Structures are given as structure tokens and as C-alpha cells.
Amino acid sequence: MEIDINELVEKSRVPRRTIHFYVQQGLLPPAEGAGLAARYSEEHLLRLAAIPVLRRRGLRLDEIRREFQQRTRAQLEELLHAAERERRESETAPWQTQNLLRYALAPGVELVVDARAPAEVRKRVLRLLEQSKIIFST
């Protein structure tokens, strides 16, 4: 399957500017051809779907680039299937039974974190909490 940039934007729901940024960052392979003749593939759609999943798991863009270099297409597809299963399960689970951690950052400002988040995400949350003390103390 080959599609143009307009179809890629429509199917992925990712803005054209973001797609070009991801290509520059090495998260997406360059299009085949240039200008109006540029064509994108299933690989582009797969990666565009995987990026937000990996971001929600706490990965930075450079870490996502490494993931794409290390994972096979089948592994990326399984990642997306697992994320969809998790999404469906979270929709059916009542809000009260979710294991959420709440952090008050300032009056009226609260950070809510899934307690099941990966260790790397929890480390980043701690850094975020430290920075929020500085931000909200001024």
C-alpha cells in the first residue's frame, strides 16, 4: 500500500507538520519520492500508531527511535494490540477500582498517575514533582 501525505494525515490523524518532524527525528523513514510524488507505506502508519503508545509508557523520542530500530514489525503490531486490550479493559473497569496515585501540586492542581506505570515513568514523575515545587512556589 502506498499513500500520499494527505491520506497519511487522514488515516493516522497526525498533522502533516508532526509527520515531517518525526521523519527529521528518525522516528519515521523518509517517504519514497519527493514533493507531490512522495509516497508513504504501512510502516509509516504502524509507527505513527505506536508513537503515542510508547509516549504514554514514558519513553522519550530518542528512546522510541531505539525501540523502532530494535523491534520487528510483528512486535510493533503486538504492542498496538496490547495497548488496545489495555484501553478496552480500562474502559470496562470502574474508575474507583483503578490503582491511581494523586499528587497535589498546588491549590486546584493535581497530578494523577497510574500506580502500575513502569518504573521509568515513576522516576520521571518524581522529577516532575520536584520541578513542580519550584514552579508553583513562585
Q: Does the pLDDT of residue 75 top 60, yes or no?
A: yes
Over the stretch 85-116, which tens digit does the pLDDT of each residue have? 888 877 765 554 568 888 888 888 999 888 88
CB atoms within 10 A of CB 40: 26
- Cα–chain center distance at 64: 9
Burial of 83 per CB tally in 10 Å (0-12, 13-18, 19+) = middle
Confidence tier at 56 by pLDDT (50, 70, 90): confident
Provide the whole-model pTM. 0.66
| pLDDT (0 to 100) of residue 98 | 66
User: Which value, to the nearest 10 degrees, does the dihedral of the CA atoms of residues 121, 125, 127, 130 take?
Assistant: -170
